[in-house]
A and B are shown apart, each in its own frame.
Chain A
């Protein structure tokens, strides 16, 4: 295992023992995803006058950097544009660890010999790596012995590393592919720690759907930043992709003029849903409910219900379906059936046979703490919200929103960064 920090500034010797120069940087082939090979060395105080020395002529890197030929036989390397300078572009930069789902800084780089090549195997983000850069790794090992813990060298394999340098669009697009595969909550947490420029560059390549998912998990500040950096049309599109209750929360925080403009750009139905939600106070059932829920008509069999759901536009759009709500022609709730029962039931039987015995519901103005309490008490995954005046079902409050009432979402506990 060779560490890049041990190579920087080292003397480079040719095959006959003469000094060629000092190692300034190393080029790797950035197109290789798992273990990019070193393709060239860049030297300073270079006697040979060749900018990039081809890596095929490296005899060894450790304990000293020696070439396999004499100075006059050194072959230059011609860059193809797909290389990456390790010192200039990777060391000390922030990267996303897509496996650990966090933002880290590169403290050191790990290299290894693979056959007749040298390859980059991974990125060291540990404290031990830091000490090594400062030349203090002996202290780390000594402290480790003192406290009976082996110093941790945390190396992230290169294939899980996503670069976020906003002025390198090629690498950024590769990173975007890796990053969008992470859960939205993790993407949001990472984006929250990035500076504005990087955030904008990174999110450019996201699809509206991914962006909507990410926004749903983000802090209001981040939501504002992201939306303000795009056209109103796109912002409206993204709001449509979001759950109506999340969209309503976001719009509630915007100045009136802006939210009106965005609402008018949204599809009529979606806009109407959101407007309805906006009429309720934030800390009530109406304020945290969503208008998207799965429902079937009254007086049908189990099989008919399943067919109905499979064809219903609303059900297709509903991302989380816990229960199926039986509504009559007046939009009044007649029964609730769990998905489990729906699946296990005899297809020919009447749906009402399977409905829940107790119907627990709340009203739009019920305080959110009470809603959370009911969900906890009755072990529910969602609870219907009924309009007390006409008994119509308005929406549901899902368990994740109830948890948010009791346990603040991760970002709510953050203090503003001061540095």
Chain B
């Protein structure tokens, strides 16, 4: 019997997977409640043509995350620190408050997702939301979230079921390829909402901060930067491939029947070809894992960033008395999110994706700052942005700002008309 020789490249992948860079973690966040909701809605409402948007957004995400990662490697500091040191308190205040609002919106969406999943199985949101919030907070405040992080990360890998579903359905690939390359959409208010939500859930302000902070914290050396680049690119690409497959599966199963997803029940049906009656379970596992992970990470990192930028006492090893601002913000984010979800009659599914528009609208604020920092000679030296990166990033910033303004214009016209 010949001995099996494992090729070097497989070994390298094995090592890489074992390490799980920040790129993968940020990418898995694409499959949380806001993500799945946005892509399900988009695929079922607009069909394959929405894939061209995903393609553009993917490129944007890779460029921006790479900038954040590069800044983390070269300066060794997080984005909040750099903004404070370069631009002073007023700009920092503006950026931090934007981040706070955007992250609040996303946390609301995550809890909405958890509540929606609970209701899929008959558990009232009034029970599920508070309990989930309390459990997550306890796990985080006691420092034991690191243990469950791996579990939640594994759960979120269930999003792979979308890929398998698509392979089972065997959709018309020719038509899909055409749709990716040849855009064909009618621009109305609803469409603009969908585009903004997609941008907002894929390129999140918190994702940028998280990427730079993780890299800075790891202490990646300049000479190892090329591996980080691979991690970032691969992570972003992988996350968006899943997003694309969510769109394809909803388009193939729901759009063709004219069903535009408006609640979690319908969204879960996209997985029916794979799992039949168990589609609900499959759908929920992925969503729950990613959303619980997000609810663990997001409020905590928001309050860390805020307190660090302004020099407030922070850290879980401090008591409530020692670090009042730190704990207040944390409790506030989670508390307000739960309260919003508990408003009687509030439609969970629309919240999940509409909240992402906030991310998109506030993104240009952060992009301008990131662009200025990554082009700064003193900070970055020879590692500052190349021209094409600037063009792409500026292009994206302008694009989002224009779309936001278009939204305002269309809304005003709608109101008058």
Could you tell me which A residues sit within 8 Å of B by CB distance?
91-94, 104-105, 107, 125, 127, 130, 133-134, 195-198, 225, 410, 413-419
Distance in angstroms from A26 CB to nearest chain B CB is 15
Residues on A with C-beta less than 8 A from B311 are 104-105, 107, 125, 130
Given A130-B310, A195-B77, A196-B219, A419–B89 Cβ distance below 8 Å?
Answer: no
Is A197 in contact with B304, judged by CB distance below 8 angstroms?
A: no
Inter-subunit contact A417/B90 (CB<8 Å): no
- For B263, what are the chain A residues with a Cβ–Cβ distance below 8 Å? none
| B76 adjacent to A196 (CB under 8 Å) | yes
Q: Which B residues from 69 to 87 make CB contacts under 8 A with A? A: 75-81, 84-85
- Per-residue interface assignment for chain B, residues 286 to 308, with 1 indicating a CB less than 8 Å from any chain A CB and 0 otherwise: 00000000000100110011001
Distance to closest chain A CB from B257 (angstroms) = 43
Is B350's CB within 8 Å of the partner chain A?
Answer: no
| Chain B residues, CB < 8 A from A410 | 317
User: Which residues on B sit within 8 Å (CB–CB) of A104?
Assistant: 311
- Cβ of B88 < 8 Å from any Cβ of A? yes
Which range holds the interface residue count of chain B? 20 to 34
**Residue on A with the closest CB to B83?**
A92
Among the listed A107, A196, A198, A413, which residue makes an inter-chain contact with B89, where contact means beta carbons less than 8 Å apart?
A: A107
Residue of B nearest to A411 (CB): B317
Could you say which residues of chain A place their CB within 8 Å of the CB of B188?
none
CB <8 Å contact, A133 and B90:
yes
Counting CB contacts under 8 A, is B55 at the interface? no
Binds A, one of B56-64, B125-133, B196-204, B210-218: B210-218
Smallest CB-CB separation from B89: which chain A residue? Answer: A133
| Binary contact track B313-339/A, C-beta < 8 Å → 1, others 0 | 001110000000000000000000000
Interface SS of B by simple majority = helix
> A9 to nearest B CB, angstroms?
11
Residues of B within 8 A of A416 (CB): 146, 217
- For the complex, give the distance between the alpha carbons of A337 and B317 in Å: 40
> Known contacts A130-B311, A195-B76, A196-B76; is A415 also within 8 Å of B143 by CB?
yes
Taking CB as reference atom, which chain A residue is nearest B90? A134
**A417 vs B85: C-alpha distance when bound (angstroms):** 19
* A418-B90 in contact given A104-B311, A198-B76, A413-B316 (Cβ < 8 Å): no
Q: Tell me which residues across on chain A come within 8 A of B78, comparing CB atoms.
A: 419
Check B216–A195 contact: CB distance below 8 A.
yes
B 115-134 contacts with A by CB, 8 A: none
B75 touches A419 (CB 8 A): no
Q: A413-B317, A418-B301 known; A92 and B89 CB under 8 Å?
A: yes
Between A and B, 14 residue pairs with Cβ closer than 8 Å are: A92-B84, A105-B311, A133-B88, A133-B89, A134-B90, A195-B77, A196-B219, A197-B76, A413-B316, A413-B317, A417-B304, A418-B213, A419-B80, A419-B308
Q: Which residues of the partner chain A approach B310 to less than 8 Å between Cβ atoms?
A: 105, 127, 130
Closest CB in chain A relative to B132 CB, distance in Å: 20
Q: Is B93 an interface residue (CB 8 A)?
A: yes
When distances are taken between beta carbons in the complex, the residues of chain B under 8 Å from A414 are 315-317
200-243 of chain B: CB within 8 A of chain A: 209-210, 213-214, 216-217, 219
Complex contact B305–A419 (CB within 8 A): yes
B89–A415 touching, CB < 8 Å: no
Cross-chain contact B88 with A418 (CB below 8 angstroms): no
Shortest C-beta distance, A185 to chain B (Å), equals: 15
Residues of A near B210 (CB, < 8 A) are 418-419
With A125-B311, A413-B317, A417-B304 known, 12 other A-B pairs at CB within 8 A are A92-B85, A127-B312, A133-B90, A134-B90, A195-B76, A198-B76, A415-B316, A415-B317, A418-B217, A418-B297, A418-B301, A419-B80
Q: Considering the chains assembled together, what is the distance between the CA atoms of A197 and B79 in angstroms?
A: 15
Closest residue of chain A to B304 (Cβ to Cβ) is A419
Q: Which residue of B lies closest to A415 (CB)?
A: B316
Cβ-neighbour of B219 out of A127, A133, A225 (below 8 A): A225
A92 surroundings in chain B (CB, below 8 A): 84-85, 88-89
Residues of B within 8 A of A127 (CB): 310, 312
- Contact yes or no, B76 A93, CB < 8 A: no
- Residues on A with C-beta less than 8 A from B76 are 195-198
**In the bound complex, what is the Cα–Cα distance between A176 and B227 (angstroms)?**
35
| Interchain residue pairs A-B with the least CB separation, the first 7 | A413-B317, A419-B305, A195-B76, A418-B301, A133-B89, A105-B311, A197-B76
Alpha-carbon distance between A94 and B80 when the two chains are bound, in angstroms: 13
Given contacts A92-B85, A413-B317, A414-B315, are A197 and B75 in contact (CB under 8 A)? yes
| Partner of A91 from B88, B93, B316, B317 at Cβ < 8 Å | B88
CA distance A107 to B93 in the complex (A): 13
Please give, as numbers and ranges, the residues of chain B lying within 8 Å of A415 by CB-CB distance. Answer: 143, 146, 315-317
- Kindly state the separation between the CA atoms of A413 and B310 in the bound complex, as whole angstroms: 23
In angstroms, Cα B75 to Cα A197, docked, is: 7
Closest A residue, CB atoms, query B214? A418
A282→B284 CA distance, assembly (Å): 43
Chain B, Cβ-Cβ closest to A167 = B378
| Complex alpha-carbon distance, A107 and B309, angstroms | 11
- In Å, the complex CA distance between A414 and B314 comes to 11
User: Among B88, B209, B310, which residue has the most Cβ atoms of chain A within 10 A?
Assistant: B88
A418 partner residues in chain B, CB cutoff 8 A: 210, 213-214, 217, 297, 300-301, 304
Report Cα–Cα, A33/B1, bound state, in Å: 78
Closest B residue to A410 using CB positions: B317
Most chain B Cβ neighbours within 10 Å, of A127, A196, A413: A196
User: Chain A residues with Cβ under 8 A from B143's Cβ?
Assistant: 413, 415
